[in-house]
Structure 1
Amino acid sequence: MGGEVSVHVDAPPAQVWALVSDVTRIGEFSPETFEARWTRGSTGPEVGATFKGHVKRNGIGPTYWSACRVTRCEPERLFEFSVGTKEITVNNWGYRLEPDGSGTKVTEYFRLEAGLPMRIYWTLLGWARGKTNEKGMRTTLERMKAVLEQ
Protein backbone atom coordinates (compact mmCIF):
# COMPACT_ATOMS: atom_id res chain seq x y z
CA MET A 1 0.00 0.00 0.00
CA GLY A 2 2.32 2.66 -1.29
CA GLY A 3 4.43 3.82 -4.18
CA GLU A 4 7.56 5.65 -5.19
CA VAL A 5 9.11 7.75 -7.94
CA SER A 6 12.82 8.36 -8.62
CA VAL A 7 14.72 10.97 -10.63
CA HIS A 8 18.39 11.69 -11.20
CA VAL A 9 19.50 15.18 -10.14
CA ASP A 10 22.80 16.73 -11.22
CA ALA A 11 23.61 17.92 -7.69
CA PRO A 12 25.50 16.35 -4.79
CA PRO A 13 23.58 14.57 -2.00
CA ALA A 14 24.33 17.37 0.50
CA GLN A 15 22.64 19.95 -1.72
CA VAL A 16 19.64 17.68 -2.39
CA TRP A 17 19.36 16.87 1.33
CA ALA A 18 19.24 20.55 2.25
CA LEU A 19 16.23 20.98 -0.03
CA VAL A 20 14.19 17.82 0.70
CA SER A 21 14.59 18.14 4.47
CA ASP A 22 13.53 21.82 4.55
CA VAL A 23 9.78 21.35 4.93
CA THR A 24 9.21 25.11 4.78
CA ARG A 25 10.02 25.00 1.05
CA ILE A 26 7.60 22.22 0.01
CA GLY A 27 5.06 24.77 -1.23
CA GLU A 28 7.46 25.67 -4.05
CA PHE A 29 7.34 22.11 -5.41
CA SER A 30 4.29 20.08 -4.37
CA PRO A 31 1.03 20.26 -6.34
CA GLU A 32 -0.94 19.49 -3.13
CA THR A 33 0.96 20.78 -0.10
CA PHE A 34 1.27 24.52 -0.64
CA GLU A 35 2.95 25.43 2.65
CA ALA A 36 4.43 23.85 5.76
CA ARG A 37 5.94 25.07 9.01
CA TRP A 38 7.81 23.58 11.93
CA THR A 39 5.72 23.32 15.12
CA ARG A 40 6.07 22.80 18.86
CA GLY A 41 9.53 24.33 19.03
CA SER A 42 10.99 22.28 16.16
CA THR A 43 13.24 24.27 13.86
CA GLY A 44 14.73 21.68 11.52
CA PRO A 45 15.02 18.05 10.52
CA GLU A 46 15.64 15.57 13.34
CA VAL A 47 13.82 12.49 14.56
CA GLY A 48 10.82 13.59 16.63
CA ALA A 49 10.61 17.09 15.12
CA THR A 50 7.06 18.13 14.26
CA PHE A 51 5.59 20.25 11.50
CA LYS A 52 2.28 20.79 9.81
CA GLY A 53 1.49 20.89 6.12
CA HIS A 54 -1.28 22.93 4.54
CA VAL A 55 -2.86 20.68 1.92
CA LYS A 56 -5.32 21.03 -0.93
CA ARG A 57 -6.02 17.43 -1.99
CA ASN A 58 -5.64 16.97 -5.76
CA GLY A 59 -4.97 20.72 -5.96
CA ILE A 60 -8.71 21.46 -5.63
CA GLY A 61 -11.37 21.64 -2.95
CA PRO A 62 -11.08 22.70 0.67
CA THR A 63 -7.74 23.03 2.42
CA TYR A 64 -6.69 21.42 5.68
CA TRP A 65 -3.64 21.13 7.92
CA SER A 66 -1.91 17.77 8.41
CA ALA A 67 0.16 17.11 11.53
CA CYS A 68 3.51 15.47 10.74
CA ARG A 69 6.41 14.03 12.74
CA VAL A 70 9.90 13.21 11.48
CA THR A 71 10.43 9.46 11.97
CA ARG A 72 13.74 8.86 10.17
CA CYS A 73 16.47 11.39 9.56
CA GLU A 74 19.86 10.41 8.15
CA PRO A 75 21.57 13.48 6.65
CA GLU A 76 22.30 13.12 2.93
CA ARG A 77 20.55 9.70 2.88
CA LEU A 78 17.00 9.59 4.23
CA PHE A 79 14.22 11.94 5.40
CA GLU A 80 10.89 10.36 6.40
CA PHE A 81 7.85 11.63 8.27
CA SER A 82 4.51 10.29 9.43
CA VAL A 83 1.18 12.01 8.92
CA GLY A 84 -1.47 11.76 11.61
CA THR A 85 -1.55 12.14 15.35
CA LYS A 86 0.88 10.94 18.00
CA GLU A 87 -1.43 7.95 18.55
CA ILE A 88 -2.50 7.17 14.96
CA THR A 89 -0.35 7.29 11.83
CA VAL A 90 -2.30 7.43 8.57
CA ASN A 91 0.64 7.33 6.19
CA ASN A 92 4.35 7.97 5.81
CA TRP A 93 6.23 10.01 3.24
CA GLY A 94 9.93 10.18 2.61
CA TYR A 95 12.92 10.87 0.41
CA ARG A 96 15.83 8.47 -0.15
CA LEU A 97 19.07 9.85 -1.59
CA GLU A 98 21.74 7.75 -3.29
CA PRO A 99 24.94 8.94 -4.96
CA ASP A 100 24.49 8.42 -8.70
CA GLY A 101 27.50 9.22 -10.86
CA SER A 102 28.16 12.92 -10.51
CA GLY A 103 24.73 13.53 -9.00
CA THR A 104 22.06 12.00 -6.80
CA LYS A 105 19.22 9.55 -7.33
CA VAL A 106 16.27 10.98 -5.37
CA THR A 107 13.32 8.73 -4.56
CA GLU A 108 10.14 10.12 -3.06
CA TYR A 109 7.83 7.49 -1.58
CA PHE A 110 4.66 7.03 0.44
CA ARG A 111 3.45 4.11 2.51
CA LEU A 112 0.01 3.75 4.07
CA GLU A 113 -0.31 2.13 7.46
CA ALA A 114 -1.60 -1.44 7.33
CA GLY A 115 -4.64 -1.11 9.64
CA LEU A 116 -8.03 -2.40 8.49
CA PRO A 117 -9.52 1.03 7.58
CA MET A 118 -6.54 1.80 5.32
CA ARG A 119 -6.66 -1.68 3.72
CA ILE A 120 -10.34 -1.14 2.88
CA TYR A 121 -9.60 2.35 1.53
CA TRP A 122 -6.69 1.05 -0.58
CA THR A 123 -8.78 -1.83 -1.95
CA LEU A 124 -11.58 0.50 -3.03
CA LEU A 125 -9.76 3.68 -4.04
CA GLY A 126 -6.06 2.88 -3.90
CA TRP A 127 -5.60 2.59 -7.66
CA ALA A 128 -6.83 6.17 -8.15
CA ARG A 129 -5.00 7.63 -5.15
CA GLY A 130 -1.84 5.77 -6.12
CA LYS A 131 -1.91 7.32 -9.61
CA THR A 132 -2.54 10.78 -8.14
CA ASN A 133 0.29 10.34 -5.64
CA GLU A 134 2.67 9.09 -8.34
CA LYS A 135 1.87 12.07 -10.57
CA GLY A 136 2.28 14.46 -7.61
CA MET A 137 5.60 12.91 -6.54
CA ARG A 138 6.94 13.14 -10.10
CA THR A 139 5.86 16.81 -10.31
CA THR A 140 7.47 17.56 -6.94
CA LEU A 141 10.76 15.88 -7.86
CA GLU A 142 10.93 17.49 -11.31
CA ARG A 143 10.37 20.94 -9.77
CA MET A 144 13.08 20.26 -7.17
CA LYS A 145 15.40 19.04 -9.91
CA ALA A 146 14.90 22.27 -11.87
CA VAL A 147 15.85 24.37 -8.84
CA LEU A 148 18.83 22.19 -7.89
CA GLU A 149 20.23 22.13 -11.44
CA GLN A 150 19.91 25.84 -12.24
Structure 2
Amino acid sequence: MGDITESIAEIAPLFLSRSEIRISAAPAEVYSVISDLPRCGEWSPECQGGSWVSGEPSAVGSVFRGENLRSPEVVAWAPVVRGTWFTHAEVVAAEPGRTFRWAMRDSAGRTQDSVWAFDVAAAEDGGSVLVHHFRMGSATEGIRGITAEMDEDGKRRFFAEWGEKVAADLGATLERIKQVVEKG
Protein backbone atom coordinates (compact mmCIF):
# COMPACT_ATOMS: atom_id res chain seq x y z
CA MET A 1 0.00 0.00 0.00
CA GLY A 2 1.13 3.51 -0.79
CA ASP A 3 1.65 6.18 1.81
CA ILE A 4 -1.44 8.36 2.02
CA THR A 5 -0.67 11.84 3.26
CA GLU A 6 -3.00 14.76 3.63
CA SER A 7 -2.00 17.94 1.82
CA ILE A 8 -1.62 21.06 3.92
CA ALA A 9 -4.31 22.56 1.63
CA GLU A 10 -6.83 19.99 2.93
CA ILE A 11 -6.43 20.74 6.62
CA ALA A 12 -9.36 22.69 8.06
CA PRO A 13 -9.62 25.38 8.99
CA LEU A 14 -7.06 26.56 6.51
CA PHE A 15 -7.05 30.09 7.96
CA LEU A 16 -8.40 31.30 11.28
CA SER A 17 -7.58 34.80 12.42
CA ARG A 18 -8.99 37.29 14.91
CA SER A 19 -8.26 40.81 16.11
CA GLU A 20 -10.08 43.21 18.43
CA ILE A 21 -10.12 46.88 19.38
CA ARG A 22 -11.90 49.19 21.80
CA ILE A 23 -13.93 52.01 20.17
CA SER A 24 -15.42 55.03 21.92
CA ALA A 25 -18.90 54.65 20.42
CA ALA A 26 -22.05 52.64 21.07
CA PRO A 27 -22.40 49.22 19.40
CA ALA A 28 -25.25 50.49 17.19
CA GLU A 29 -23.03 53.29 15.87
CA VAL A 30 -20.14 50.90 15.17
CA TYR A 31 -22.50 48.44 13.47
CA SER A 32 -23.89 51.13 11.17
CA VAL A 33 -20.37 51.70 9.85
CA ILE A 34 -19.14 48.09 9.56
CA SER A 35 -22.30 46.89 7.82
CA ASP A 36 -22.03 49.62 5.15
CA LEU A 37 -19.70 47.64 2.85
CA PRO A 38 -19.59 50.27 0.07
CA ARG A 39 -17.64 52.37 2.58
CA CYS A 40 -15.03 49.66 3.17
CA GLY A 41 -12.49 51.59 1.10
CA GLU A 42 -12.23 53.90 4.11
CA TRP A 43 -10.74 51.13 6.23
CA SER A 44 -9.76 48.04 4.27
CA PRO A 45 -6.14 47.49 3.16
CA GLU A 46 -7.43 45.84 -0.06
CA CYS A 47 -11.12 46.49 -0.68
CA GLN A 48 -11.52 49.89 -2.30
CA GLY A 49 -15.31 49.90 -1.99
CA GLY A 50 -18.02 48.52 -4.20
CA SER A 51 -21.78 48.26 -4.43
CA TRP A 52 -24.72 46.11 -3.50
CA VAL A 53 -25.77 44.11 -6.57
CA SER A 54 -28.78 42.25 -5.16
CA GLY A 55 -30.97 42.18 -2.09
CA GLU A 56 -31.58 44.80 0.56
CA PRO A 57 -28.24 46.44 1.46
CA SER A 58 -26.60 44.85 4.51
CA ALA A 59 -29.36 42.23 4.93
CA VAL A 60 -28.81 38.47 5.02
CA GLY A 61 -28.78 37.17 1.46
CA SER A 62 -27.73 40.45 -0.13
CA VAL A 63 -24.73 40.37 -2.45
CA PHE A 64 -21.90 42.90 -2.51
CA ARG A 65 -19.53 43.37 -5.45
CA GLY A 66 -16.21 44.56 -4.07
CA GLU A 67 -13.46 46.31 -5.96
CA ASN A 68 -10.07 45.28 -4.62
CA LEU A 69 -6.50 46.42 -5.12
CA ARG A 70 -3.39 44.43 -4.19
CA SER A 71 0.18 45.65 -4.50
CA PRO A 72 3.00 43.60 -6.06
CA GLU A 73 4.76 43.32 -2.66
CA VAL A 74 2.05 41.15 -1.05
CA VAL A 75 3.50 37.62 -0.85
CA ALA A 76 5.48 38.71 -3.90
CA TRP A 77 6.73 35.24 -4.90
CA ALA A 78 3.25 33.67 -5.09
CA PRO A 79 0.92 33.84 -8.11
CA VAL A 80 -1.78 35.91 -6.38
CA VAL A 81 -3.94 38.45 -8.19
CA ARG A 82 -2.20 41.82 -8.48
CA GLY A 83 -3.71 45.19 -9.27
CA THR A 84 -7.48 45.56 -9.41
CA TRP A 85 -9.92 42.66 -9.26
CA PHE A 86 -13.52 42.13 -8.22
CA THR A 87 -15.20 39.78 -5.76
CA HIS A 88 -18.76 38.91 -4.84
CA ALA A 89 -19.76 38.24 -1.25
CA GLU A 90 -23.07 37.25 0.31
CA VAL A 91 -24.17 38.52 3.72
CA VAL A 92 -24.68 35.45 5.92
CA ALA A 93 -25.38 37.13 9.28
CA ALA A 94 -26.68 40.61 10.10
CA GLU A 95 -27.75 41.34 13.66
CA PRO A 96 -27.78 45.13 14.16
CA GLY A 97 -25.56 46.19 17.02
CA ARG A 98 -24.05 42.66 17.30
CA THR A 99 -22.68 40.84 14.26
CA PHE A 100 -22.13 41.25 10.53
CA ARG A 101 -20.66 38.45 8.39
CA TRP A 102 -20.20 37.75 4.71
CA ALA A 103 -19.06 34.70 2.75
CA MET A 104 -17.03 34.96 -0.42
CA ARG A 105 -18.66 33.55 -3.56
CA ASP A 106 -16.93 31.52 -6.25
CA SER A 107 -17.09 32.29 -9.98
CA ALA A 108 -20.36 30.32 -10.25
CA GLY A 109 -21.97 32.39 -7.47
CA ARG A 110 -21.84 29.73 -4.75
CA THR A 111 -20.87 30.76 -1.22
CA GLN A 112 -17.53 29.34 -0.14
CA ASP A 113 -16.26 28.33 3.28
CA SER A 114 -14.51 31.71 3.53
CA VAL A 115 -16.18 34.10 5.96
CA TRP A 116 -15.21 37.58 7.08
CA ALA A 117 -16.95 38.81 10.23
CA PHE A 118 -17.36 41.64 12.66
CA ASP A 119 -18.77 41.18 16.16
CA VAL A 120 -19.43 44.18 18.35
CA ALA A 121 -20.36 44.31 22.03
CA ALA A 122 -20.77 46.97 24.66
CA ALA A 123 -17.63 47.52 26.72
CA GLU A 124 -18.09 47.49 30.49
CA ASP A 125 -16.73 51.01 30.87
CA GLY A 126 -18.66 52.44 27.90
CA GLY A 127 -18.05 52.32 24.21
CA SER A 128 -17.63 49.07 22.31
CA VAL A 129 -15.30 46.20 21.65
CA LEU A 130 -15.10 45.35 17.96
CA VAL A 131 -13.77 41.95 16.90
CA HIS A 132 -12.81 41.22 13.29
CA HIS A 133 -12.58 37.54 12.27
CA PHE A 134 -11.58 35.64 9.18
CA ARG A 135 -12.12 31.92 8.75
CA MET A 136 -11.45 29.84 5.69
CA GLY A 137 -12.50 26.30 6.46
CA SER A 138 -11.47 24.78 3.16
CA ALA A 139 -9.52 26.13 0.22
CA THR A 140 -11.52 28.52 -1.94
CA GLU A 141 -11.50 28.55 -5.71
CA GLY A 142 -8.88 31.32 -5.60
CA ILE A 143 -6.61 29.56 -3.11
CA ARG A 144 -6.79 26.34 -5.12
CA GLY A 145 -5.70 28.28 -8.21
CA ILE A 146 -2.86 30.04 -6.40
CA THR A 147 -1.46 26.83 -4.94
CA ALA A 148 -2.19 24.45 -7.86
CA GLU A 149 1.42 24.32 -9.05
CA MET A 150 3.05 24.46 -5.61
CA ASP A 151 4.67 21.51 -3.87
CA GLU A 152 3.88 20.90 -0.18
CA ASP A 153 6.76 23.11 1.02
CA GLY A 154 5.55 25.92 -1.22
CA LYS A 155 2.00 25.53 0.07
CA ARG A 156 3.20 25.60 3.69
CA ARG A 157 5.20 28.75 2.99
CA PHE A 158 2.28 30.38 1.18
CA PHE A 159 -0.27 29.55 3.90
CA ALA A 160 2.08 30.85 6.62
CA GLU A 161 2.79 34.11 4.78
CA TRP A 162 -0.83 34.58 3.71
CA GLY A 163 -1.97 33.95 7.30
CA GLU A 164 0.43 36.66 8.52
CA LYS A 165 -0.88 39.03 5.84
CA VAL A 166 -4.51 38.39 6.85
CA ALA A 167 -3.74 38.90 10.55
CA ALA A 168 -1.99 42.20 9.81
CA ASP A 169 -4.89 43.29 7.59
CA LEU A 170 -7.42 42.56 10.36
CA GLY A 171 -5.51 44.75 12.79
CA ALA A 172 -5.06 47.57 10.25
CA THR A 173 -8.76 47.41 9.38
CA LEU A 174 -9.78 47.77 13.03
CA GLU A 175 -7.45 50.73 13.58
CA ARG A 176 -8.95 52.49 10.54
CA ILE A 177 -12.54 51.70 11.59
CA LYS A 178 -11.79 53.14 15.03
CA GLN A 179 -10.61 56.36 13.39
CA VAL A 180 -13.65 56.56 11.10
CA VAL A 181 -16.17 55.90 13.89
CA GLU A 182 -14.56 58.14 16.51
CA LYS A 183 -14.26 61.07 14.08
CA GLY A 184 -17.99 60.71 13.42
TM-score normalised to structure 1 length: 0.88
Q: Do structure 1's residue 91 and structure 2's residue 114 form an aligned pair?
A: yes
Q: State the SS of the aligned residue for 1:31.
A: coil
CA separation of 1:84 and 1:26: change in aligned 2, threshold 3 A: same
Q: Do structure 1's residue 50 and structure 2's residue 63 form an aligned pair?
A: yes
CA separation of 1:142 and 1:115: change in aligned 2, threshold 3 A: closer
Aligned residues: 149
Tell me which residue corresponds to 1:68.
89
Provide the C-alpha distance between the structure 1 equivalents of 2:140 and 2:130, rounded to a whole number of angstroms: 31
Q: Do structure 1's residue 18 and structure 2's residue 32 form an aligned pair?
A: yes
TM-score normalised to structure 2 length: 0.73
Q: State the SS of the aligned residue for 2:115.
A: strand
Q: Do structure 1's residue 32 and structure 2's residue 65 form an aligned pair?
A: no
Q: State the SS of the aligned residue for 1:76.
A: coil
**Residue pair 1:31, 1:59 contacting (<8 A) in 2 also:** no
User: Which structure has the larger Rg over C-alpha atoms?
Assistant: 2
2:44 alignment partner AA: S
Q: List runs of 5+ in structure 1 lacking aligned partners.
A: none
Q: CA deviation at 1:57?
A: 2.9
CA separation of 1:10 and 1:127: change in aligned 2, threshold 3 A: same
Tell me which residue corresponds to 2:177.
144
User: C-alpha root-mean-square deviation of aligned residues, in Å?
Assistant: 2.3
Single out whichever of 121-130 and 42-51 deviates more from structure 2. Answer: 121-130
Q: Do structure 1's residue 8 and structure 2's residue 22 form an aligned pair?
A: yes
Q: CA deviation at 1:43?
A: 4.0
Q: Which structure 1 residue ranges, 4+ long, deviate > 6 Å from structure 2?
A: none
Provide the C-alpha distance between the structure 2 equivalents of 1:55 and 1:140, rounded to a whole number of angstroms: 14
Q: List runs of 5+ in structure 2 lacking aligned partners.
A: 1-14, 74-81, 148-154
Query: Which has the larger strand fraction?
Result: 1
